[in-house]
Structure 1
Amino acid sequence: MLIKRFARKQLSVAVAVASSGLISSALAQSVAVDTSEQFSPASLEEVVVVGRLQSVAASLTDERLELPYSADFLGFEAIARAGDSTIGAALRRVTGVTLVDSKFIYIRGLGERYSNVTVNGAAVPSPDLARSVIPLDLFPSSIVESLKVQKSWGPELPANFGGGAIDIRTRSVPSGPVAALSIGTGFNTESDDGLTYSDNSGSMPQALTNAISRYKGDLSQSNIFDIENAAGNAISRLEAEQVQRDLILSLNRNVALNQGKLDPDRDIKIDLGNAWDVSDDLVLGASLNWGYDEEYRNKNQIKRSIGNPSDNFSESQRTVYELRKTLAIVLGAEYAEDNTIQLSHYVIQNDADEASITSGFSSNNPASENRPRVNYDTRLEERELELTQVSGSHRLGEFSPVPVLEMLSFEWFYSDAQATTNVPNATSFSGSIDRNTSPETPFISQSSTAGQFEFLALEDNVESWGGRAELPIDIDGRELIVSGGWWNSEKTREYYGYTANIGTNATVGTPQTVFTDERINDLNNVFDLAMGSGFGNESYVAAQKIGAVYGGLDFRMTEEWRITLGARWEEYQQAVLPVNLLDFTGVFNQQLIEQLQDPNQKFAVQNDDIYSSFAVTYSGMSLLGANEFQIRFSASETVVRPDLRELADVAYIDPELNVRVFGNPGLQTTDISNFDLRGEFYYDGGDNFTVSLFYKDLERPIEQVEGAGSDDDTVLRYINGDSGEVYGVEFEGLKTLPAGLFLSGNVTLSDSEIAITSNNEVTNTDRRLTGHSKYVVNASLGYDSPDERHSASILYNISSERIFFAGTSGNDDAFEQPFGSLDVIYNYYPTENLSLKVKVTNLLDSSREFEQKNSSGTNVKILEQEVGTSVGLSLSWKY
């Protein structure tokens, strides 16, 4: 058995190097020879470099071969080869994976709620205002050692498992001196000119905070007058009005929108590290990684009403400035090769500053009158993730009291993380433009919400810890691995939102000319101030606690057959409570207390269950012309729980597509039965082929459906279906070609069904699951020159249309249309230390499009968003 496993590792070197795209025709020949052969001095340095890359890629392929459950991996060199700057972009290359909104991963056609994301095995918080799952564009690829996507469940994973589990494995300390510097620039074809504004920083004014408390959330002139006089502070109604005007003046109104030239993309990355031999047994290491990048992107949109698209539509000019900063510090120690400890600290900041002008028509102002309504919006969203982890791995070895325990190994981790998101001042001003005059005449609406100022704060804290022990036992030459461990996570989430509304009478002008200090101070002008979003409660607090213990048996009965059994007991506790920040009477809290006393209350849940898995693997040496193959079958029972935000009885805006979403406290968990059959075939020269069949049976799947909204507003909510299923086949392979070329790719063909009989509002009660694509295609054609000076790749990614939300009231389901992304990457290596990279993404200039058929059978393009073609250039130096 040991001989066979060693031989498999040698083959995996060739497979890994080829699949990572780091192989030229000359290198392909070098990996085929015996590693004991002597190489000429002239090529010694080149072989050392290649060997290092081989070892990294080969270790991942070896891990894939040794795992009893189906999984796919991406190493840092494959990510660098594709030029992906974030983890989300990199995961597009994995079989059966689609990327949505550049942030969220759909695995095997199941939405982001069906994917579980961990960092080095630990739960992490999310800074996303609209979802509790972490947005994967937050993590830069520069801190990643490898990405693991496990598609069949094992007991070491959290039971919250649907499409798959993603583990982000960050870089460890280096084995020697490392120094690297990279600088880059770029542009986007749709983002040459765009909108900017002066300043949206700061926070909610202290004067407004004090006034909300003093006046019990009611900032009307009459209430100010009543409270001040009741407190013995005799003031006139005119003085009360001045108090209100001063509060309006405290708001940051320096948000004049301007059209201008946008700056090009900029990025810089620095990587430093080293390892020191303190003694024969002790090695210390440290690394520092820092990154900075910024970019402007226009995300212009066109929205159309499903009922009357020709007269009810809007167009948005929308510019988003994104700034990302990353700091990673890693310290590590290794003793006697059997004991390692690592401390990692990460600070990741991602700010998005958005400006938009939206004009449109509706039934109240038809296009024939040529007076479109106009909204002027700004929004700064500051996201930050601070993550500290300490982990260790140990093997008893020579310290074992008895020989049978020499191979006992133990791994543990502790993680403490905080994610915060602040919207210090999001503004929205409503008005109209009379295009019948020359020049056109702008107006501010005569409305109590003519100007809106939104202040949001999110804090998500997660503490996670766990450990795993493993002991291999020899039973008459056969290997039995006994393993077990525990895993815990405690999460708290606080989300608070205030909205201040300024009302005024109809006034000629734009926000920067109407809401000035001079006009607001003039009491002859009509201005008013009130608190409240106008569409429901926004704030909530939530807590979640998961505790689990698990165990497993992995028995290699013969060289060909392997059986794996596992079980996990998991206790789950969660509470989500809405908060009314403007309730000073206690009525809201009293009602909440009464609802919590109801035995059927939905705010807090607690349950525990045992989840089990079974896998069988057959390994052979000759089938379908392969040198080696593996066939695996696995089955498991898991669960998918609603996100905290989906359960909260609150309303919020999804900032990516600017649609309103309502939570549902009545959502139930989804129970899932998973079945997976996978065959892997490996050939000479690193060629390989994998085929997988999968089936998932879902009980009470969670669906996003259309809710009741106005003619020009999309509203979404969540419901449980009765049952659902997903099934399909995945193909993955790599083929080396002559002249340094290689072709790799994957195709997923699948289908899904859902039945909803308990909700009579849904138009289609039997259909596909929302978010499911019938096909996903990833293809790559790569080239490496024999002299190792040039490499290039052509990458193509596309998925079929998927349901964005389920239609109601006779309207058909809304579908996001296929988005075909063609990327081209070229690398030039003039010296061993320098490299120049050129990357062009979305070369076909595809845009995001959403279509929905209305009750009369007309297909309406309800949303279009441009993306543009991006060009990037970077220069890197590496020691």
Structure 2
Amino acid sequence: MKNPAYTFSMKSLSLAVAAGLFAQSGVALAQSEEEAIEEVVATGTRLKGTATAVMEERKNQAFVADIMGAEQISRTGDGDAASALRRVTGLTLVDGKFIYVRGLGERYSSTQLNGASVPSPDPTRNVIPLDLFPSGIIESLSVQKAFSPSMPASFGGGNVNVRLKSIPSQYIFNMSGSLGTNTNNFDDAYFYDGGSDDWMGKDDGTRAAPASILQQWNEFKFLDDLTQAESVEMFKGLHRDYDPYQAKVDPDTGFNMTLGNSHDIDDEWRWGYLVTTGYNNQWNVSEEYIGEQPLRDGEDSIRMVRFFDEVDTTEHSVKWSTLMSLGIDYNRQHQIDYSLIVLNDTRDQFREKVGNSANIQLVDDQRIREYEVLYEERRMYTNQLKGMHTFPSLGFMGLDWKYSLGRSSRNAPGNMEARFILTDENLDGVYDKVNESVLTNAQTAARYSFQALHDRVENYGFNVNYPVTMGRWEMEFKGGYDYVNKIRIAENRRLDVSTRAFADTSILQGNVYSDILTDDVLDSASYTSINLLRDTTIAGDDYIAAQLIDAYYFEADLFFDNTWRVSGGVRYEDFRQAVVPFDPRTNQIDLADDADRAQLQFMEDDFYPSIAVTYFMEEDMQLRVSFGQTVVRPDLREVSSATYIDPLTEFPIGGTPGIRTTKIANYDIRWEWYREAGNNLSVGLFYKDMDDPIESVQSPAQDGPPLVRIANAESGELYGIEIEFLQGLEVIGDGIWDNLFVSGNITLSDSEIELDRQNIVEQTGVSASITNLKRRLTGHSQYVLNTQLGYDSDNGEHSASLVYNVFGERIIIPGIDFFDDTYEAPFHSLDMVYKYYPDFNTTVTFKVQNILDDQQELEFENTLARSETKGTRLSLSYKYDF
């Protein structure tokens, strides 16, 4: 990289979370103030230049933090922020979206974009899925693990700050394209006919509810009082051609473009801009096993009575992103930046499933065949404006301010599932999907769902800092204010197709849903008194939520004799939240009396102190110790007793009025050794003491999945050790060793929570058949290992990395009814990235991911609960700098 004559730095910026419902409702997430990585002179290989920049920033942080730069992300080949963050010490990735910091679930970590709160398109969680951010727009990822007063007080495992690319110091224009595939994609896969705009990640209206049904919903009539004729006519308007066919899988494609520059207006004024946009179209084919209901036969034998053992899945994802930034600077003392970020991530998944249940069994020569379409569009739009000012005439006092307005949405316009019965009529052991199939005669032969969510966040704030020098003391004092206002509106509609409406069930013969229920068949059929369409939307499916946070903080940073550094202060937060579940049929609040409605508001205010002490043992060696008090608050829907269906898991979830905030005492100590050319070594210890940790528990269900409830455990603790290193292998000898390096990290930790069954029953009001009253935290892995072996050629034309990641088994589903907890087995990820630089302007990259072809597995008591193949992904990209 080149040494710039001028750079635009990237401090804090805050997204927001939006508007209040009633006078005392709202939310917040605050922001941290962190400097972005500026360009530096590369003094060695590509790795060493990058490592030096990142390590220098981490070294200068007042509180324990880990930072990953864009070049490091490029070397590991990860495509989004979530995948990249699993390389950071102590972080694990769950469900491809959510980051667990030091084994604490996503609720225990806050996420920011350029130092700002972020709206989330997830319908049941506050946190934003980090797979939404493509790596092409990321400048660096910062994970602060020790609480500081400028951070949100809702801080458990840490704060993840996604810092996007900043305005360059000189002209930059590059374009890149990529092609790829997965070994699972080599054979034919299942597809269905979607819309003409699917390649853009946008439904063209094909999946949407017809106007006749929308009118019923808008008038709050729903489908409860329809005549059979009206029910049939409305059903005709629903899209029915979701039937699968097999075809070749297209290759993955991608495109990225970046354009930016900075210009001098005169000796004092300078302005700059950056535009970067990207598009990615990717296919994933997999085979799965899904176990849904275990039964214990004797002491040592377990069998699944409801399961799908033949599951073929095709997932199509379309991601596109645009980042536009403008900045102006006066005399390097006053700078104002504006950024617009637009992100889209569309998932279109088709599943073909064959299995059995307690009623449909192999001993009766029958099987269940289901297929389902899961389609969702997630989008985020964010405007960010910030100013940074220095006043030399006032003792170099600094003033930083920000304003951010963000919106996110999730649109799932028409998910659908249908169920068939396969009967081996000729007893040949083959269940013929074409000739031995019938659409099931049931009240839920098919189901349609339509979901929409809108999240709006407004965030603004400022801080003033003032430096003071007295003898051997160098000091900086900072005070600030943060305001976050968030509002969320969510809607969910469900329709069931009841084939018991037909008097003659012989019309249900066949395997193609759209061929069975044609308009001609519907017009000529004889009907019973049961309507063809049933509206199964339930009270609580609609809700409005709001959060409001006013936060004030004071922080001091004191250096003594270049030997000691003491940083700390206190944060005050006034937090208010309201969640209002609605009955969609009446548009009234889904809680009858005033006592129940009192549960809708959640309010608290408190002071949150922190302190960090750094001892500079040598010029390149330091020891840090820190302490902070933080909280983790209930999520949006967790304070209301209304039951809702999680659209991501399809589990019924019930919140708990009176759920208590988790209070956490955080302790950290870390020794760091920063050596020549980016080589480094650090060892850290951490401990967290938790009162009333918030956890998910389950209550047995009569039919279908268990009811998930949110409850407080009595106490919890988490402790562990983190080791991180980077070392060039020239220490071994000359020759090839000069071109190799090894880096990595390992985290060893343990956790324990203690639950009281009776207290949970009293708190939730339902039976809680918890198997283990003492267990690890959900999602916590006792070890996480990352290693990287890298190569950089002498002439700078070649570089390669072999990257390995593995995590220890972790609880995904806590056990009930005397069944043990369900664990996700360790996943061994081995990736290779090779880069060729034929000239100064060109980069060719070849990636192979999941070389070991490992698969994801969930097990309990040596019984397979779920599994999914991942395949080996191959990609080739070409980038040219103009």
Give 3-state SS (helix, strand or coil) of 2:184's partner.
coil
Task: Determine if the alignment matches structure 1 residue 720 to structure 2 residue 712.
Answer: yes
Kept after mapping to 2: 8 A contact 1:312/1:366: no
| Aligned partner (choices 686, 709, 712) of residue 694 of structure 1 | 686
- CA apart distance, 1:129: 2.7
Q: CA, structure 1 residues 298+538, in 2 after alignment: closer, same or farther (shift >3 Å)?
A: farther
Describe how 1:165-564 pairs up with structure 2 within 5 A.
165-192=159-186, 193-199=188-194, 201=203, 202=205, 203-212=208-217, 216-219=221-224, 223-224=225-226, 240-304=227-291, 305-307=293-295, 309-315=303-309, 316-397=311-392, 400=393, 405-437=394-426, 440-505=435-500, 506=505, 507-510=508-511, 511-524=513-526, 528-533=531-536, 537-564=540-567
Kept after mapping to 2: 8 A contact 1:569/1:609: yes
State the partner residue of 1:5: none
State the partner residue of 1:157: 151
- CA apart distance, 1:57: 5.5
State the partner residue of 2:596: 595
| Aligned partner (choices 799, 806, 822) of residue 807 of structure 2 | 799
- CA apart distance, 1:475: 1.2
Return the alpha-carbon distance in structure 2 between the equivalents of residues 115 and 213 of structure 1: 38
Kept after mapping to 1: 8 A contact 2:538/2:584: no
Task: Determine if the alignment matches structure 1 residue 840 to structure 2 residue 827.
Answer: no
Give 3-state SS (helix, strand or coil) of 2:136's partner.
helix
Describe how 1:40-55 pairs up with structure 2 within 5 A.
none
Describe how 1:663-678 pairs up with structure 2 within 5 A.
663-678=655-670
Give the AA of the match of 1:328.
L
Return the alpha-carbon distance in structure 2 between the equivalents of residues 190 and 666 of structure 1: 48
State the partner residue of 1:611: 608
Task: Determine if the alignment matches structure 1 residue 134 to structure 2 residue 132.
Answer: no
- CA apart distance, 1:654: 5.0
The C-alpha deviation readout for 1:332-361, integer Å capped at 9, x for no partner, is 111101111111001111111111122211
State the partner residue of 2:732: none
Return the alpha-carbon distance in structure 2 between the equivalents of residues 143 and 310 of structure 1: 45
Return the alpha-carbon distance in structure 2 between the equivalents of residues 301 and 710 of structure 1: 26
Describe how 1:856-875 pairs up with structure 2 within 5 A.
859-875=862-878
Return the alpha-carbon distance in structure 2 between the equivalents of residues 847 and 663 of structure 1: 33
Task: Determine if the alignment matches structure 1 residue 829 to structure 2 residue 827.
Answer: no
State the partner residue of 2:788: 780
State the partner residue of 2:764: none
Q: CA, structure 1 residues 468+689, in 2 after alignment: closer, same or farther (shift >3 Å)?
A: same
Q: Give 5+ residue unaligned stretches, structure 1.
A: 1-19, 32-46, 225-239, 622-626, 854-858
Return the alpha-carbon distance in structure 2 between the equivalents of residues 762 and 310 of structure 1: 20
* RMSD, aligned α-carbons: 2.3
Give the AA of the match of 1:695.
Y
State the partner residue of 2:3: none
| Aligned partner (choices 579, 582, 585) of residue 582 of structure 1 | 585
Give the AA of the match of 1:644.
L
Return the alpha-carbon distance in structure 1 between the equivalents of residues 753 and 451 of structure 2: 36
Return the alpha-carbon distance in structure 1 between the equivalents of residues 782 and 591 of structure 2: 49
Give 3-state SS (helix, strand or coil) of 1:309's partner.
strand
Return the alpha-carbon distance in structure 2 between the equivalents of residues 871 and 711 of structure 1: 42
State the partner residue of 1:237: none
Give 3-state SS (helix, strand or coil) of 2:332's partner.
coil
Return the alpha-carbon distance in structure 2 between the equivalents of residues 653 and 591 of structure 1: 21
Give 3-state SS (helix, strand or coil) of 2:488's partner.
strand
Return the alpha-carbon distance in structure 2 between the equivalents of residues 734 and 707 of structure 1: 47
- CA apart distance, 1:469: 1.6
The C-alpha deviation readout for 1:372-417, integer Å capped at 9, x for no partner, is 12222112211110011011111012xx2xxxx3321121111100
Task: Determine if the alignment matches structure 1 residue 852 to structure 2 residue 877.
Answer: no
Return the alpha-carbon distance in structure 2 between the equivalents of residues 731 and 214 of structure 1: 60
The C-alpha deviation readout for 1:169-188, integer Å capped at 9, x for no partner, is 11111111111111001111
- CA apart distance, 1:244: 2.0
Return the alpha-carbon distance in structure 1 between the equivalents of residues 120 and 827 of structure 2: 27
| Aligned partner (choices 629, 641, 646) of residue 637 of structure 1 | 629
Kept after mapping to 1: 8 A contact 2:285/2:314: yes
Return the alpha-carbon distance in structure 2 between the equivalents of residues 336 and 848 of structure 1: 55
Return the alpha-carbon distance in structure 2 between the equivalents of residues 199 and 255 of structure 1: 8
State the partner residue of 1:567: 570
Give the AA of the match of 1:642.
P
Q: CA, structure 1 residues 648+213, in 2 after alignment: closer, same or farther (shift >3 Å)?
A: same
Give 3-state SS (helix, strand or coil) of 2:780's partner.
coil
- CA apart distance, 1:310: 5.0
Give 3-state SS (helix, strand or coil) of 2:561's partner.
coil
Q: Give 5+ residue unaligned stretches, structure 2.
A: 1-36, 196-202, 296-301, 427-431, 730-736, 761-767
State the partner residue of 2:68: 74
Return the alpha-carbon distance in structure 2 between the equivalents of residues 592 and 89 of structure 1: 46
The C-alpha deviation readout for 1:286-333, integer Å capped at 9, x for no partner, is 111111111111243212232253553213222111000111111111
Taking every aligned residue pair, what percent have the same amino acid on both sides? 35
Give the AA of the match of 1:309.
R
- CA apart distance, 1:528: 2.5
Task: Determine if the alignment matches structure 1 residue 743 to structure 2 residue 751.
Answer: no
Higher mean C-alpha deviation, range 684-693 or range 322-331: 684-693
Kept after mapping to 2: 8 A contact 1:288/1:328: yes
Give the AA of the match of 1:572.
F
Kept after mapping to 2: 8 A contact 1:824/1:841: yes
Kept after mapping to 2: 8 A contact 1:392/1:412: yes
- CA apart distance, 1:150: 0.2
Kept after mapping to 2: 8 A contact 1:459/1:495: yes
Return the alpha-carbon distance in structure 2 between the equivalents of residues 686 and 379 of structure 1: 46
The C-alpha deviation readout for 1:478-498, integer Å capped at 9, x for no partner, is 112111111111111111011
Q: CA, structure 1 residues 517+530, in 2 after alignment: closer, same or farther (shift >3 Å)?
A: closer
Return the alpha-carbon distance in structure 1 between the equivalents of residues 232 and 811 of structure 2: 48
- CA apart distance, 1:77: 1.4
Q: CA, structure 1 residues 443+536, in 2 after alignment: closer, same or farther (shift >3 Å)?
A: farther
Kept after mapping to 2: 8 A contact 1:311/1:367: no
Return the alpha-carbon distance in structure 1 between the equivalents of residues 252 and 726 of structure 2: 34
The C-alpha deviation readout for 1:427-464, integer Å capped at 9, x for no partner, is 11122111334664111121222121111000011111
Higher mean C-alpha deviation, range 779-788 or range 602-611: 602-611
State the partner residue of 1:145: 139
Return the alpha-carbon distance in structure 1 between the equivalents of residues 190 and 323 of structure 2: 33
State the partner residue of 2:115: 121
State the partner residue of 2:8: none
The C-alpha deviation readout for 1:662-683, integer Å capped at 9, x for no partner, is 4434432110000000100123
- CA apart distance, 1:271: 0.6
State the partner residue of 2:34: none
Kept after mapping to 2: 8 A contact 1:306/1:852: no
The C-alpha deviation readout for 1:516-551, integer Å capped at 9, x for no partner, is 222222242567344443776422110011110000
Size of the aligned set, in residue pairs, is 796
Kept after mapping to 1: 8 A contact 2:581/2:590: no
